[in-house]
Amino acid sequence: MVNGKLAMSLARRAAGAAAKFVGSRHLDSYQSLGLDFVPKARAHPKQLPPVNRLRLGNLGRSAKRLRANEVSCTQLLEEALAAVEVYDAQLNAFAELLEGSARVQAKVMDEELAGGTVRGPIHGIPISIKDIIHVASVPTRAGSSAYRVVPEKDATAVALLRAAGAVIVGKTTTHEFALGVTTPQSRNPHDPTRIPGGSSGGSAISVATGMCLGSLGTDTRASIRIPAALSGVVGFKPTFGLVPADGLVQLSWSMDHVAPMASSVADAAILVDVLAGTSLSMFCGSDASALRVGVPVDGTVGADDEVVSAFSSALSLIRKLAGKVREVGRPHDVDFETAKAAGLLISRCEAADFHSGLGLNRARYWQETRDQLDAADQVLATDYVRAQRLRAVLAQDMVRVFNDVDVLAMPTSLVPAPKVEQADDYLLILSRNAILWSLIGFPAVSIPCGMTSGGLPIGLQLIAPPWEEANLVALGAAFESAFKPGDDRDASPTQN
């Protein structure tokens, strides 16, 4: 095992190299990228219908209604498309709406149901797909005007969803090539002057507004959990490798996770079951009283006061649900910071390697994206290797943390969704608590746990050791069931 002094030395080297990726401001340049990808922020946003804070069980409940013949697949799809009509022009969740083919799929699903065939737990359920994941015969643009391919076949994860009966509504917006946490071309469903988070921003918007009942995205450093936290939905990142990750516009071969978003932990668990062949959904409703929960002392360092308050309230509830809740010393601030540095370096270097083989004109990339890849091209191989060694050290250390606890709890994001024009100031703050778990491949879930006084969602992040997703489902579903928001309005026109 590498000793602490060497680990710190590796961290400093990784941080020094990663510093090449940060420090410059790019938000001002977004508006020059073209309105197809970055619509101008409106000074006086149109008043949109409020979205649900926590839409418990929509996917699972809708599936039961379908099988009971209380609603048709076509009706579910039309409700989703009605929500697209209401929200998408201002929030920009979809890069490609597949209205025609989705109606054909829904009709087929209805015919199969009428004939007694149920493909799986998501038969007839409207699902969206992040636009770095290939859908057969549909353009993949990865949020960039420089890239366009039309794949001949689905990514394996998409094929699994189809086989289980999913109706694909469309391709959702992403930060260009998934290389960021803001998705600046899209807007937060709770406040259109703010970012939705990224890079799976469109996926989060589509679920939060009822444009679909689940979405398939990716998480390389924080790209499922941050938009989930900022937009008020559930983002479930499984253990690295549990869900097939082929058929992607690759960001980082050693860190890319394919993962779902949904309205509840139970719904997300159903999607993981479809994608990974697991039985996680059976743990919804399980007794969580035997679980030991660790709360890192440094998990709220630098957090917004309202995030700290919501997290404290969430812990009070968790203490009633779990067997034991106690503070733990790790991960500490140095762990979070070194993981952030190593994660940046590794993911950017691997992205640069992938992009070097695409033969694209980088002059057409966003300035932010281009700067990151150009800087990665200059990183020494020794720094990349040192960052990988640091990664191994962190993984070993975190495995030991879980000798004494079953689940860790902390805020997903230290801050609520920033204003679009201020997002550049929060690029590394947003993902501070999330990067570590993608870097070392541990499963993690973000669950809504409150709202700010201004009506912005706050996320609770639960983490488990590899292959122990069942503990996240048991505790997360128990928390969700017991959680009673102070203002639990439900005004979405697409409520099922």
List the catalytic residues.
Answer: 130, 199, 223
Beta strands per DSSP E along 209-332:
214-219, 234-237, 257-262, 292-296, 324-328
Helix-helix angle 4-18:381-401, to 10 degrees: 130
CA distance 416 to 476: 20
Instruction: Supply 54's token pair.
Output: 């926590």
CA distance 380 to 166: 45
The neighbouring-strand residues paired with 319 are none
CA distance 2 to 397: 10
Q: Cα 294 to chain center, whole Å?
A: 23
Which residues in 135-150 are b (16+ Cβ under 10 Å) and which e? Answer: beebebbbbbebbeee
Residues 101, 110 contacting (CB under 8 angstroms): no
Beta strands 94-97 and 457-463, pairing class: unpaired
Q: Cα 232 to chain center, whole Å?
A: 11
In which residue are the tokens 């969803």 written?
Answer: 161
- Which pairs with CB-CB distance under 8 Å and at least 24 residues apart come from 147-155? 147/177, 147/249, 147/358, 147/360, 151/247, 153/247, 154/247, 155/244, 155/246, 155/247, 155/248, 155/258
Compute the chain's Rg from CA coordinates: 21
Beta strands 167-172 and 94-97, pairing class: antiparallel
Instruction: Supply 95's token pair.
Output: 């890069």
Beta strands 292-296 and 126-130, pairing class: unpaired
Indicate the burial class of 111 (C-beta count within 10 angstroms; 0-12, 13-18, 19 or more): exposed
Alpha helices in 68-141 (DSSP H): 73-91, 99-114
Sequence letter at residue 117? T
The neighbouring-strand residues paired with 149 are 140
Indicate the burial class of 310 (C-beta count within 10 angstroms; 0-12, 13-18, 19 or more): buried
Instruction: Supply 442's token pair.
Output: 């541990």
Sequence letter at residue 60? G
